[in-house]
Amino acid sequence: MPTTLRVNGKAISVNAEPDTPLLWVLRGELHMNGTKFGCGMALCGACTVHLNGEPVRACITPLSAVGDADVTTIEGLQGPEATALRTAWTVLDVAQCGYCQSGQLMSACALLKKTPKPSDADIDAAMGGNACRCGTYPRIRAAIHQAAEGRG
Amino acid sequence: MVKRRTVLLGGAATAGALVIGWGVMPPRQRLHPSDPLPQTSGQAALNGWVKVGADNTVTVMMAKSEMGQGAHTGLAAILAEELDADWAQVRLEMTPIDDIYNNLATVVDGLPFHPDNDGSMKAVAGWLTAKTMREVGVMMTGGSSSIKDLWLPMREAGAHARAMLIRAAAAQWGVQATECTANAGWVEHTAGQRATFGELAALAAQQPMPGKVTLKEPAQFKLIGKPLTRIEAPSKLDGTAVFGIDANPPGLLHASLVMCPTRGGKVARFDAAAAQKLPGVKHVLDVAPYHGGTGGVAVIADTPWHAKKAAAAVTVEWDHGPAATLSSDTVMARLAQALDQAKGFGYHSAGDVDAAMQGAATTITADYRAPYLAHAALEPINCTVQFKDGAATVWTSTQVPGLARRAAAKALGIDDEKVTLHQLLLGGGFGRRLEADYVAQAAAIAKVAGGAPVQTLWSREQDTQHDFYRPACMARFKAGFDAQGQLVAWHNVSVGQAIVPQVLVRTFGLAGAGPDKTTSEGAFDQPYEWPHARIAHEIVDLPLPVGFWRSVGHSHQAFFKESFVDEAAAAAKQDPVAFRAALLQKHPRHLKVLQKAAELADWGKPLAPGAAGEKRARGVALHQSFGSIVAQVAEVSVGADKAIRVHRVVCVVDCGAAINPNLIAQQMESGVVFGLTAALYGEITLKDGQVQQSNFHDVPLLRMADCPRVETHIIDSAEPPEGVGEPGVPPIAPAVANALFALTGQRLRALPLKLA
CATH class of the structural domain B244-322+381-457: alpha beta
Q: What is the pLDDT of residues B481-516, one digit of tens each?
A: 999 999 999 999 999 999 999 998 998 888 766 789
Work out the average pLDDT over A111-125.
Answer: 98
Distance to chain A for B17, nearest Cα, Å: 32
Closest CA to B463 of B293, B349, B213: B293
**Which H or E element spans position B128?**
helix B120-136
Contact status of A45 with chain B (Cβ, < 8 Å) = no
* pLDDT, position B16: 30
Q: What is the pLDDT of residues A30-46, one digit of tens each?
A: 999 999 999 999 999 99
Q: Name the pTM for this structure.
A: 0.95
Cα distance between residue B545 and residue B472, in whole Å: 11
What is the separation, in whole angstroms, between the first and last Cα of chain B? 44
Contact status of A115 with chain B (Cβ, < 8 Å) = no
Do the chains contact at B704 and A137, CB–CB below 8 Å? yes
Do the chains contact at A43 and B697, CB–CB below 8 Å? yes
Distance to chain B for A19, nearest Cα, Å: 9
Interface mutation vs chain B, best among A15, A61, A93, most B CBs within 10 Å: A93
Of the CATH numbers 3.40.930.10, 1.10.150.120, 1.10.1740.10, 3.30.70.270, which one belongs to the domain with range A80-151?
1.10.150.120
Say yes or no: do domains B2-236 and B328-373+469-744 share a fold: yes
Below-70 pLDDT ranges, chain B: 1-28, 118, 120-121, 123-124, 127-136, 512-513
For residue B305, give the nearest of A24, A73, A138 by CB distance.
A24
Do the chains contact at A34 and B240, CB–CB below 8 Å? yes
Work out the average pLDDT over A87-114.
Answer: 98
Do the chains contact at B238 and A96, CB–CB below 8 Å? no
Work out the average pLDDT over A6-20.
Answer: 97
Ramachandran area for residue B599 (φ above 0: left; ψ -120 to 50: alpha; else beta):
alpha
* pLDDT, position B113: 78
If one looks up domain B2-236 in CATH, what number appears?
3.30.365.10
Question: Between vectors from CA B463 to CA B425 and to CA A26, what angle results, nearest 5°?
Answer: 60
* pLDDT, position B23: 32
Phi, psi of A21 (to 5 degrees): -60, 140
CA distances, B374 to each of B426, B429, B648 (Å):
17, 12, 26
If one looks up domain A3-76 in CATH, what number appears?
3.10.20.30
Work out the average pLDDT over A52-75.
Answer: 97
The chain A residue lying nearest B462, using CA atoms, is A39
The chain B residue lying nearest A99, using CA atoms, is B427
The chain A residue lying nearest B672, using CA atoms, is A135
The answer for A 59-98 residues in CB contact with B (under 8 A) is: 73-75, 77, 86, 89-91, 93, 95-98
Closest CA to B396 of B476, B486, B464, B458: B458
Distance to chain A for B527, nearest Cα, Å: 29
CATH class of the structural domain B328-373+469-744: alpha beta
Instruction: Point out which residues pair with B475 in neighbouring strands.
Output: B368, B494
Closest CA to A74 of A100, A95, A96: A100
For residue A75, give the nearest of B238, B429, B459 by CB distance.
B238
Contact status of A145 with chain B (Cβ, < 8 Å) = no
DSSP-based helix, strand, coil % in chain A, nearest 5: 45, 15, 40
Cα distance between residue B343 and residue B495, in whole Å: 10
Q: What is the pLDDT of residues B673-718, one digit of tens each?
A: 999 999 999 999 999 999 999 999 999 999 999 999 999 999 999 9
* pLDDT, position B108: 73
Say yes or no: do domains A3-76 and A80-151 share a fold: no
Q: How many CB atoms are closer than 10 A to CB B608?
A: 8
* pLDDT, position B245: 98
* pLDDT, position A152: 41
List helix spans (H) across chain A: 22-24, 80-91, 101-114, 120-127, 137-151
For chain A, the maximum distance between any two Cα atoms, rounded to a whole number of angstroms, is 47
Cα distance between residue B581 and residue B528, in whole Å: 9
Do the chains contact at B239 and A21, CB–CB below 8 Å? no
The chain A residue lying nearest B229, using CA atoms, is A93
Say whether pLDDT at A151 is over 60: no
Domain-by-domain residue ranges, chain A? 3-76, 80-151
Query: Per DSSP, which regions of B540-638 are E strands?
Result: 616-625, 628-638
Domain-by-domain residue ranges, chain B? 2-236, 244-322+381-457, 328-373+469-744
The chain B residue lying nearest A20, using CA atoms, is B305
Cα distance between residue B628 and residue A60, in whole Å: 43
